Structure formats: C-alpha cells, structure tokens
Amino acid sequence: MKLLWGGSPEPPHNKTLVRYRTHACPVADKFFEKNGFLRIEKPFSPTGTPIDYLQPKPLFRMITLNNVSKYYPAGFGKTYVLRNVNLTIDQGEFVSIMGPSGSGKSTLLHILGLLEEPSEGEYLFLDEPVHRLSEKKRTELHRNHIGFVFQAYHLIDELTVYENIETPLLYKGVSTSERKSRVADVLDRFGIVAKKDLFPTQLSGGQQQLVGIARALVAQPKVIFADEPTGNLHSEQAREIMELFQKLNQSDGVTIVQVTHSETNAEYGNRTVKLRDGWLEPKEAVV
C-alpha cells in the first residue's frame, strides 16, 4: 500500500506502509481510502485511529524500466539521449518528468507510451516485458491501456470533434452503440457537447487540448502519458487542464505521467523525477 501524504512535513514519496502502530504513525488522524490508496490528511492524535485501519493493501506496479538507454548513431560512435534509466511507477500515481530542453523527456515519455523502443534495457508494462512482445501485441497493449496526449494536440483536421474522439474506439473494434454512448459520455463530461460537429481548426487551443484528452480517455486507459499538455495554452486554460488531470487521477484512479516545464503543473502530481543529459534524478534502485 502506498501513502499519498497530505500533511507536512512532506515525507519521501512512494513510501510503503507495512504496519504502523498507532503511536508510531508519523502523521494523520484523518484519512480516507480511495482507489486503493490511503490518503492521510492531518497529524495523528495520541489516542489515534485503530491500527486495523492501516492495514497494507497490494500495490500494483504499472511500469518498470530497468537500465533503459536510448542512443542514435553519430559518426563512428553514438549519441546517448537516455542513459541507464531505472524507474518504477505504480498504478494511481501522478508523476511529472522535468528537465532542461534536450534532456530526453519526450524520448522517455515516448518509450513509456510504446511509441519508441529503447536501444538497451528492459521495459515492463503491467509485468509484460514490452521489449519481448511482437509488434501486434504491443499495439494491443497500447490500444487497451494507454492514452497519449500531445502538446500540439495531434487531432485529425478532417474529422469533427465527435469523430476524433471516436477514432480510438474504432481501432479497438468497439460496437456502434457502445461507441455512441462512450463518446456522448466524454463529450458531456468535458463540457464540449455543443462542439461535437465542429472541426479542430474551429476550436481554441484549450478546447483542442480538451478534445485531445477526451480522445485519450474514451478508450478507458489505465494510464495517460501527456507531453507538455499545456505547452501551447495560456495560464487559465493550463490550470483547467491540470485540474482535470488531478480529478482523473484522484477520483477515477487514472495513472498520469506528464512531461512539463512548469513547477506549478508539477505540483498537481504526487512525484517529480528529473532528467539531466539523459540521466534520471533521483536514481531509483532496481526492484
């Protein structure tokens, strides 16, 4: 089980609670469970909550990268973009990847989103060794579990909002009636029903990104990878998108991994990892 800490001081992220005795619990007398997480809100009172409420729960590992490197040929040698990256992400986390331009963030996100392959190392997605899967299996894994949100939206200009959102369901072979109901549901949820027959070029940047996120979500992915999702938006639109991500993460249990330049955006998540010249900081141990 993992604790998402709401109190202060901020404890290390990713802390696994094995079994706290009441008096040993460092925080919280108020907590609630959501999506398999125990969220602790306040400092613990001495008389405290019974220990039974703090039983461990299974933690689902979604992503494991073991010594992943990515390089491109350069002259007689290689240019490394990622170097020996070890990273684990659990179901229900909201992780931000930060780092200077050119440090390898997009490459890492593309590898995580199965859009690129590592040159070396292994990638386990839901315990499946991605590097050993056939192209067909990888595509299946992508369609069934992954939603990708691009900075530049990547909507299809010739399709309406409705059709753009419907596309992943067509690829997945979802029936017509189910498609209708799911698209109607996300249109409603994102407050864009009135825009359904418009084309992307008739929308503002913020609206296009909402459609991009709706398209990523309609297939009910386990994880959303977002590459600077607010990079082209002004601050008010950016805030709306981040609030939406936070809600998806906290209320619907969707795992989110975003690349961002913005400290403000990173604060919506529960963990930040930093890339520098292809190295990940802090380095994680291989588990």
Site for ligand ADP, rule CB under 6 A: 72, 79, 81, 99, 101-107
Nearest to 203 by CA among 232, 224, 227: 232
The CA-atom distances, in angstroms, between 239 and each of 10, 61, 226, 229, 231 are: 23, 29, 15, 11, 12
* Pairwise CA distance, residues 83 & 121, whole Å: 10
Closer Cβ to ligand ADP, 98 or 192, answer by number: 98
State the minimum distance, in angstroms, from the CB of residue 259 to ligand ADP.
Answer: 6
Query: 3-class DSSP state for residue 243?
Result: helix
* Pairwise CA distance, residues 228 & 105, whole Å: 10
* Pairwise CA distance, residues 250 & 244, whole Å: 10
State the minimum distance, in angstroms, from the CB of residue 155 to ligand ADP.
Answer: 21
State the minimum distance, in angstroms, from the CB of residue 86 to ligand ADP.
Answer: 18
- Beta-carbon-side half-sphere exposure of residue 193 (alpha carbons within 13 Å): 8
* Pairwise CA distance, residues 97 & 110, whole Å: 12
Q: Is the peptide bond preceding residue 118 cis, with omega within 30 degrees of 0?
A: no
Closer Cβ to ligand ADP, 166 or 227, answer by number: 227
Closer Cβ to ligand ADP, 90 or 227, answer by number: 227
State the minimum distance, in angstroms, from the CB of residue 222 to ligand ADP.
Answer: 24
State the minimum distance, in angstroms, from the CB of residue 44 to ligand ADP.
Answer: 41
* Pairwise CA distance, residues 101 & 275, whole Å: 10
* Contact assessment for residue 91 and residue 62, using Cβ atoms and an 8 Å cutoff: yes
Closer Cβ to ligand ADP, 79 or 181, answer by number: 79
State the minimum distance, in angstroms, from the CB of residue 158 to ligand ADP.
Answer: 28
* Contact assessment for residue 190 and residue 248, using Cβ atoms and an 8 Å cutoff: no
Closer Cβ to ligand ADP, 116 or 122, answer by number: 116
Please give the backbone phi and psi of residue 115, each rounded to the nearest 5 degrees, phi first: -95, -15
Closer Cβ to ligand ADP, 106 or 270, answer by number: 106
Closer Cβ to ligand ADP, 15 or 276, answer by number: 276
State the minimum distance, in angstroms, from the CB of residue 68 to ligand ADP.
Answer: 13
Residues 6+ apart with CB under 8 A from 14: 2, 90, 271
